[in-house]
Structure 1
Amino acid sequence: MASGKRASWRGSEFSDLLCLMTIGVCGWIVGIQFGAFRVLDAIMTEHGLSEVVTLGCFVGLGAFAAGLHKSLKLRRAKQERDRAEAQAASVARHDSLTGLANRRCFVEAVDGEFSRETGKATAVLLIDLDRFKPVNDLYGHAAGDTVLCTVAERLKQVLPPGSLAARLGGDEFAAMLPPSAGSEAVARVAQGVIAALSAPISWQKSELKIGATIGIALAGETVGDAEAALHAADLAMYQGKKDGRGTFRFFETAMDEDLRARALLETELRGAIVAGQIEPFYQPVVSLPGRELIGFEVLARWLHPERGTLLPSEFIPIAEETGMIGDLSYDLLRQACRDAAAWPPHLQLAINVAPQQFQDRWFAEQILAVLNESGFPAHRLEIEITESALIQDLEATRATLTSLQNLGVRIALDDFGTGYSSLYHLRELKFDKLKIDRSYVNSITMSDERAKLVDAIIKLGSSLGLVMTAEGIETSGSLDWLEGQGCDFGQGYLFGKPMSKPEADLYVEGGAPDASDETAAEQAAA
């Protein structure tokens, strides 16, 4: 193919040369016919030159023109090649959507700046957008692209002169600030970036609202190159996310240690699920009044071989973030159904599921498979979901909820009063039960306002035909008040702590263990 191109190029050059030389000959012939060369003929005759020399001059002139033409073509080709190379280099170093530097360009710039000895700290900011995914999902990718371009423009406006802004990918941006006298100046810039990115963005007839969480790394002993700086800033940003988003954090060495500890715990958790170290514990649920046992809530406990019994707060968030929550929950439910098979048939099991599980279109089928495998009746099972599950995908939640209820499984809305539910959700999704969050129950006897709120929740549930359960009952005063208000069921340390299968068996037989040996902190974490 290459040789064919070279042959074509050479053929083109020869054709151009031949054409221009022919034009020269034609010019000579025309000149002879019209006597245009009389003066030239006289000079040539005087010096004994023939017309052939004149012809040669015209042919040479044509050859010269051919050479000049070729030179101009080569120059244009070189200019086009240089422009193409410059454009390719720009594309390779810049983000095509926002026009900001890309990761490669940013890393090179940071490495170059870190190699300079300025005596001042160079700061790298890692900027992660908050609430970008809901905007993208709700309004579409065109709106998402508008948000990203707007973020890029606002970064250019708010960053100080000499800064470099970059889009690393997705909704993750970065900035390198010029050498600064200290962290206070960097903090002011970070606050300005957060404020700028939190301002509403106009999209068609809507206002899109996002935010930003920023991690900051300063050049130093532990941050000596671009990759180290981005890693450190990512750790700081992750800490900011944990602390509530919409903020900034400077990297500290302890963050790296925390991340390593979390990575180790994640690895151990994967092994624990396979090895069956996550076991179900059971907390009694009783009827009000009468305080008769009507069932248990299933709570996870990790029987760690070295660290002892770990509470859900120490590993459930990791399981949710890493996608292990599905296997963990199904294993837990499977074991709980087997444990409850020997209990009286009127006792129910309640188990909480993660919001992402409720978005799984096959969730109901998987629950049915567990029930069939264990032989546990569907009408004895109660699935609890938190209010955060309602805002992710209402239609998917409705479909899953309906499928479960068609199987005979009951659905409870857990921790009511702490999340995002509304009367619309309560009416449309047709729950079977509301569970009043323990934060309300604990303060019933301490605050008249909280007592009025709980009374309103109970009346609301009753008016909608929902069964009401109060969580976290720890005092007889709270119990008496709830019974007087018509609450249907209760659970808490007053009736029993989360207990193992042998302890639950004893409880069912009537030998309820004393709950005083457990702390209220464990109850809250359960």
Structure 2
Amino acid sequence: MDIQKTMQATLGLERDERWLDAFDRLSTGFRFIISYSPDGALAKVEFASPSIERLYGITVAELHRDIDAIRRRIVAEDRETVKAAIARAIADRASACELHYRLQTSSPDQSVRHIRVMATIEYAPDGRSIWYGVAIDVTQENELREGLQHKIQQLQSTLRLLPDLWFELDAQGVYRAVHANDEALLLRPPEELIGRHISAVLPPDVYQRVSDAMFVAQTTGRAQKFRYPQDLPDGMHHFEASISFRDRDDGQGVFTVLVRDQTEIVRIYEAREEALLRDGLTGLWNRAGFMDGALTRYCERSAGAPQSTSLMLLVDVDGLREINHTLGHDAGDRVLRAVAERLPTLSPCLLAARLGGDELVALVELSGPWTDEQCADWVRQAWSTLSAPLKLGDLDFRPSLSVGWTTVSHIQEHPTVAFQEALAQVEEGLFAAKRSGRGRIERFDAERFAHARRRHELAQALTGALTNRELWLAMQPIVLADCPNALAAEALLRWRSPKFGEVSPLQFIPLAERSRAIVAIGEWVLTQACQWAAARPQVSHVSVNISPYQFAQADFVETVERALQTSGLPANRLCLEITESLLADDLTDVARKMHQLEALGVRFALDDFGTGYSNLLQLRSLPLHALKLDRTYIRDVLTDPDDACIVEAVLELAHRLQITVVAEGVETREQSEWLLQRRCDALQGYLYGKPMPAQQWPLQGLPP
């Protein structure tokens, strides 16, 4: 991956974004891109917005000259914590990181600012980590939080001094005196309490707690405190009671009970806690709130309907980033809010949350047993409701939504486990919906999910396959028609995994290409193949398959030169096999690199010819030396006139263009004779030899 080009493209895009410019002008933060070495010890500033000067008191130029200028401004006690957090994120290959630290300003009063850093992290093939982030001054936010906490403490102190209820009980627990600042907090009027025993007034659970506290207070001489809820006509209240015991001069013991109504304090705390568990944009639960209590309450509410059917939907707003870029972030927010506001209208028994970004999850209970077809119909109707047009200014806008869904089992018995399983299923359904095109609905498919999980596990295992020496090369002979005693060979990559055994290249090569691990793996294959051929002079040449991702690397020509120089293999004994998909990319760049390597003596073959969209006339502009006819044409060449006609036409045209033709998949003597009669230049297939471990090919002579 060309990191420099990627950075330049990213910076160019960011400069064009007006909202980022506004951020730089108006905010107290700054944006940055920093790359770290694999161990996190070395850092390089790739980009920093000019607003860094307002926050840190240094210019962008000063930062580029001395990246430690930021570290020196961090309060000394926080430096090691920040350093350790960065190193831990890199070691864990985290995709995001959040840091908090204090910044010593250069103002006369030496004031301290509180900084919050949020960054996403990407990893380059060379091991570096690229941090895209923003640093924001949250000093004012912290001061407001501390001020709120101080006010809550003041309120608590005041309430401690002003009891709402005061009772005096005799040693047996009979009311002797009652005082109430608000008689609505009493279970009975004061005059009805006098002379009654507490057991005749208090609910059983409250009476038990009061009785226990009275016993301890009388026997230990220490006041006892406890909290309890009480249902009153105006709703649930939360009380804190303090009970103490003293002996009077007449020898009669007396209990003093002070009760404070803490309902408002509890509500403040509950509101504060709920605010932390709600998504600020949509008002739905966030992931923490969904799992922290909302899911449990949903299950308790639906526990009385054992015949109900539970569904989970994962809704993704397609193209939200494009909406933000073209219509503005306010428009994107309105689309997301509109879809979120429609979710509760789907069913009275629905629990919804925003998991982050553009994804909304809904858990819905449908009364009674539903068939799969009925569930699918309900989801389609829900999708139609959520996708209804909405107004964005003067624009009638219909949001495009992709939905993954599944039925949920055992949600009442094991809510967290069932939710996590269902979430994994709808995520796979959503992935399938997006893979097949936006604006689609896909139900979770267990077989597809199993394949996806295996792909994920294979991809994870593949990351260490090269380092752990699990990859190896097999060589398959290529018979040259004009020199039967000489052989060429094609290097074929194989993977023997300790966990999965022999993994087919058809499975792991696409995974390696998707993760870009194919670049490092391809360079290893090229180096190994050159060293192998250099040690076997009787092999006319070795063919190596090149991935389009590998070929697209800016230093690909240098990589090939390095492999040749290191091994000592003459360039004319190396043939690079490319696929037709490579020709769909930048043909000018492809041709330039091919001509550079041809000048060294390297040859090129077009692999699997006939399965793509190239044609012989298009290939005339490229320095191709050979075409490899795909095995699908060779398999039925003796029985299918169409295949025979195609093969004969390719052979004729290729020879006119002075391009060698290699037939793949030759398995019978009859196929071989038919091809040789039509002057096919080289043959490859099980008839002449299966792929064998590279080490088994003799250093001299031909393989058995």
- Scaled by the length of structure 1, the TM-score of the pair is 0.60
| Matching of residues 150-299 of structure 1 within 5 Å | 179=366, 181-187=370-376, 215-221=404-410, 224=415, 228-237=421-430, 248-252=442-446, 261-288=454-481, 291-299=484-492
Q: Distance in 2 between matches of 1:488 and 1:121?
A: 66
Q: Tell whether 2:593 aligns with 1:404.
A: no
Residues 430-457 of structure 1 show CA distances to partners (whole Å, capped at 9, x for unaligned) of 4332211111111212311222222233
**1:436 aligns with one of 626, 629, 646:** 629
Go from structure 1 to structure 2 and tell me whether the alpha carbon gap of 1:322 and 1:484 turns closer, same or farther (over 3 Å shift): same
**What SS does structure 2 have at the residue aligned with 1:446?**
coil
Instruction: Report the AA paired with residue 375 of structure 1.
Output: G
Query: Identity of aligned pairs, percent?
Result: 34
How far residue 281 of structure 1 moved from its aligned partner, in angstroms, is 0.9
How far residue 504 of structure 1 moved from its aligned partner, in angstroms, is 1.9
How far residue 471 of structure 1 moved from its aligned partner, in angstroms, is 0.8
**What SS does structure 1 have at the residue aligned with 2:478?**
strand
Match of residue 509 from structure 1: 701
**2:311 aligns with one of 110, 123, 133:** 123
Go from structure 1 to structure 2 and tell me whether the alpha carbon gap of 1:451 and 1:219 turns closer, same or farther (over 3 Å shift): same
Q: Distance in 1 between matches of 2:332 and 2:481?
A: 52
Go from structure 1 to structure 2 and tell me whether the alpha carbon gap of 1:217 and 1:467 turns closer, same or farther (over 3 Å shift): same
Match of residue 453 from structure 1: 646
Go from structure 1 to structure 2 and tell me whether the alpha carbon gap of 1:256 and 1:371 turns closer, same or farther (over 3 Å shift): same
Residues 231-284 of structure 1 show CA distances to partners (whole Å, capped at 9, x for unaligned) of 2222345577899998834243x6666555555444443333113231111001
Q: Distance in 1 between matches of 2:576 and 2:464?
A: 26
**What SS does structure 1 have at the residue aligned with 2:671?**
helix
Structure having the larger proportion of residues in helix: 1
Go from structure 1 to structure 2 and tell me whether the alpha carbon gap of 1:496 and 1:219 turns closer, same or farther (over 3 Å shift): same
Go from structure 1 to structure 2 and tell me whether the alpha carbon gap of 1:154 and 1:307 turns closer, same or farther (over 3 Å shift): closer
Go from structure 1 to structure 2 and tell me whether the alpha carbon gap of 1:281 and 1:476 turns closer, same or farther (over 3 Å shift): same
Instruction: Report the AA paired with residue 442 of structure 1.
Output: R
CA contact (8 A) 2:631 2:665 kept: yes
Go from structure 1 to structure 2 and tell me whether the alpha carbon gap of 1:273 and 1:179 turns closer, same or farther (over 3 Å shift): same
How far residue 173 of structure 1 moved from its aligned partner, in angstroms, is 8.0
Instruction: Report the AA paired with residue 372 of structure 2.
Output: S
Go from structure 1 to structure 2 and tell me whether the alpha carbon gap of 1:92 and 1:221 turns closer, same or farther (over 3 Å shift): closer
CA contact (8 A) 2:580 2:613 kept: yes
Q: Tell whether 2:660 aligns with 1:467.
A: yes
Go from structure 1 to structure 2 and tell me whether the alpha carbon gap of 1:446 and 1:367 turns closer, same or farther (over 3 Å shift): same
How far residue 422 of structure 1 moved from its aligned partner, in angstroms, is 4.4
How far residue 350 of structure 1 moved from its aligned partner, in angstroms, is 0.9
Q: Distance in 2 between matches of 1:242 and 1:374?
A: 43
Go from structure 1 to structure 2 and tell me whether the alpha carbon gap of 1:360 and 1:156 turns closer, same or farther (over 3 Å shift): farther
Q: Distance in 2 between matches of 1:166 and 1:328?
A: 42
CA contact (8 A) 1:93 1:105 kept: no
Instruction: Report the AA paired with residue 452 of structure 1.
Output: C
**What SS does structure 1 have at the residue aligned with 2:525?**
helix
**What SS does structure 2 have at the residue aligned with 1:274?**
coil
| Matching of residues 309-324 of structure 1 within 5 Å | 309-324=502-517
CA contact (8 A) 2:298 2:351 kept: no
Q: Distance in 1 between matches of 2:625 and 2:337?
A: 48
Residues 297-356 of structure 1 show CA distances to partners (whole Å, capped at 9, x for unaligned) of 101122445665444234323322333222222222212211111222661111112222
Instruction: Report the AA paired with residue 329 of structure 1.
Output: G
Residues 151-197 of structure 1 show CA distances to partners (whole Å, capped at 9, x for unaligned) of 9999999xx956999997889787777848333244457789999xx
| Matching of residues 60-79 of structure 1 within 5 Å | none
CA contact (8 A) 2:308 2:365 kept: no
Structure having the larger proportion of residues in strand: 2
**What SS does structure 2 have at the residue aligned with 1:273?**
coil
Go from structure 1 to structure 2 and tell me whether the alpha carbon gap of 1:441 and 1:327 turns closer, same or farther (over 3 Å shift): same
Q: Distance in 1 between matches of 2:539 and 2:674?
A: 27
Residues 456-509 of structure 1 show CA distances to partners (whole Å, capped at 9, x for unaligned) of 333343344322111111112221222233322111101111012343227x61
Match of residue 5 from structure 1: none
Name which structure has the greater RCO, CA cutoff 8 Å, separation 6+: 1
Q: Once superposed, what is the RMSD of the aligned Cα atoms?
A: 5.2
Q: Is there any run of 5+ residues in structure 1 with no aligned partner, and where?
A: 3-87, 196-210, 514-526
How far residue 116 of structure 1 moved from its aligned partner, in angstroms, is 5.0
CA contact (8 A) 2:529 2:544 kept: no
CA contact (8 A) 1:383 1:412 kept: yes
**What SS does structure 2 have at the residue aligned with 1:315?**
helix
Q: Distance in 2 between matches of 1:156 and 1:461?
A: 64
CA contact (8 A) 1:282 1:296 kept: yes
Q: Distance in 1 between matches of 2:317 and 2:584?
A: 19
Go from structure 1 to structure 2 and tell me whether the alpha carbon gap of 1:306 and 1:106 turns closer, same or farther (over 3 Å shift): closer
**What SS does structure 1 have at the residue aligned with 2:692?**
coil
Match of residue 611 from structure 2: 418
**What SS does structure 2 have at the residue aligned with 1:505?**
coil
Q: Tell whether 2:509 aligns with 1:334.
A: no
**What SS does structure 2 have at the residue aligned with 1:272?**
coil
Q: Distance in 2 between matches of 1:168 and 1:285?
A: 55
Go from structure 1 to structure 2 and tell me whether the alpha carbon gap of 1:121 and 1:402 turns closer, same or farther (over 3 Å shift): farther
**What SS does structure 2 have at the residue aligned with 1:472?**
coil
CA contact (8 A) 1:280 1:298 kept: yes
**1:378 aligns with one of 568, 571, 577:** 571
| Matching of residues 300-311 of structure 1 within 5 Å | 300-305=493-498, 308-311=501-504
Q: Distance in 1 between matches of 2:285 and 2:636?
A: 54
Q: Is there any run of 5+ residues in structure 2 with no aligned partner, and where?
A: 1-139, 144-274, 385-399
Go from structure 1 to structure 2 and tell me whether the alpha carbon gap of 1:309 and 1:113 turns closer, same or farther (over 3 Å shift): same
Q: Tell whether 2:561 aligns with 1:368.
A: yes
**What SS does structure 1 have at the residue aligned with 2:554?**
coil
| Matching of residues 7-46 of structure 1 within 5 Å | none
Match of residue 359 from structure 1: 552
- Scaled by the length of structure 2, the TM-score of the pair is 0.46
Residues 81-109 of structure 1 show CA distances to partners (whole Å, capped at 9, x for unaligned) of xxxxxxx99x96559xxxx9998999999
